[in-house]
Amino acid sequence: MSDTSSRAPSRQVVLDSAFGAFCVLMLLLMFARPGQETIPYHLLFFGLAVVYGFRVWAPTKTIWLLAVISAVAGVAMVLHWQQDSIEAAELIEVILMPALVGAMIFHAHRHAVASRTMHAQARERAEALVHQRELLRDACHAMRTPVTIARGHIELLELELPHDRASKDLHVVRSQIDRMARMMSRLIALTELDRGDALLRRPADVAGLVAEIGLNWTPAASRQWEVVAPYPISALIDQEYFEIVVDSLIENALNYTTTGDAIRVECRQEATSCVIEVADSGPGIPTEDRDQVFDRYWHREAPNGSSGSGLGLAVARSIVMAHGGTVEAASAPEGGAMIRVQIPVATPDPRRDVTIDVRSGASAPMDTGTDAWSSVRHLQP
């Protein structure tokens, strides 16, 4: 630190000394070469303009320097005019050249002041943004505990109040608390990603993770669920963050479908990429809105008239990009929207595939107690 600060003044001293010697030399040549003084005179002010581009002096020092150079050079020009070495018309340069260089110095000084102001404002905005992110992150962490406690008490009340009306009301309360918890997790993820926190990426079975999350969502609503997951597909992921991605995609599909609509959750390998698709048979996404759906706080109206927080797909995109992947919206074969995620795999080829189909309205209930049904088909190579 001290070495750097000591070298900077020494370079400035060398530059100032060199320019001082140059000025003295040019002024001496002006006195020594009557009739040819215009060459060192123009070189003098040209050198001042060049040096000022590297070394912006304080305004007072600059004014004094310009005044001294102009005065001494003006004396030489007047003496040579009195000796009939130059024409009287050339004396106008005694005024024009200092005025020209003075205007340049004035604007250079204004630019330097504006640049310092801009950098100071940028630092203030950056510090304010850091404080804002830290406040948001701390607030979300602080809210997690009361939300968890509230959810636990609601689960106890559901056991103690089995009648239908109370059970339905408590289910609504629990679903809203779960929604709040997911929102807080996404806000925390956004603040950590914006802050540049490194992901803890480790080899993991993405297909197994997608299948598990997809199956966990099937009791949430009466949909025609289909979960198709090749096994295994290994990739370097931060599992906690990637669970947020899959949850956000499925929740988005759930919000824009109604009872009986189809939702497909699929994970497969294409060449050296792991592809995750969540498709539905809902209203779909208009072509002109497909880029905007990943913007923060952007909403589109759901079939039931509600809208989400505007964070789910935005968080998903940030996390996928942090994994070196891509995410896009497209039309689904089912007739609705499809969100497609693509990340690099850790191994080139899967050893086998497992297809899991989960559909409502089949002939045997799942362990979850809903009307969903499941079957597993192993596809050996």
pLDDT digits (tens, 9 = 90+) for 145-188: 677 777 777 777 777 776 666 667 777 777 777 767 777 777 77
The terminus-to-terminus CA distance of the chain in angstroms comes to 64
Q: Which of 342, 319, 321, 338 is nearest to 330 (CA)?
A: 338
Residue 288 per-residue DSSP state: G
Number of Cβ within a 10 Å radius of residue 105: 21
Position 178 scores a pLDDT of: 74
Position 110 scores a pLDDT of: 83
Quote the tokens at residue 229. Answer: 């997951």
Position 347 scores a pLDDT of: 58
Position 248 scores a pLDDT of: 87
Residue 261 near residue 281, CB atoms below 8 Å = yes
Domains recognised in the chain with CATH numbers: 202-379 (3.30.565.10)
Position 328 scores a pLDDT of: 93
- What is the phi/psi pair of residue 202, to 5°? -135, 155
- Radius of gyration for the chain, computed over Cα atoms and rounded to the nearest angstrom: 36
Cα angle 17-43-34, degrees, rounded to a multiple of 5: 110
Position 358 scores a pLDDT of: 41
Position 12 scores a pLDDT of: 78
Position 309 scores a pLDDT of: 62
Residue 53 near residue 71, CB atoms below 8 Å = no
The pLDDT tens digits for 45-64 are 888 888 877 777 777 888 88
Quote the tokens at residue 237. Answer: 């992921």
Q: Alpha carbon of 293 to those of 266, 313, 335: distances in Å?
A: 21, 7, 18
- What is the phi/psi pair of residue 358, to 5°? -125, 115
- As a dihedral over the C-alpha atoms of residue 70, residue 76, residue 77, residue 82, rounded to 10 degrees, the angle is 140
Q: Return d(Cα 292, Cα 286) in angstroms, integer.
A: 10
Spell out the per-residue pLDDT of the chain, length 381, in tens. 444 444 555 777 888 888 888 888 988 988 888 888 888 888 888 888 888 777 777 778 888 888 888 888 888 888 888 888 888 888 888 888 888 888 888 887 888 888 888 988 888 887 776 666 666 666 666 676 677 777 777 777 777 776 666 667 777 777 777 767 777 777 777 666 766 556 788 899 999 999 999 998 888 788 999 999 877 899 999 888 898 899 889 988 988 888 889 999 999 999 899 999 999 998 888 888 888 888 877 777 666 655 556 677 888 888 898 889 999 999 999 989 999 999 999 855 444 444 444 433 332 323 323 233 233 332 323
Paired with 327 in beta bridges are 341
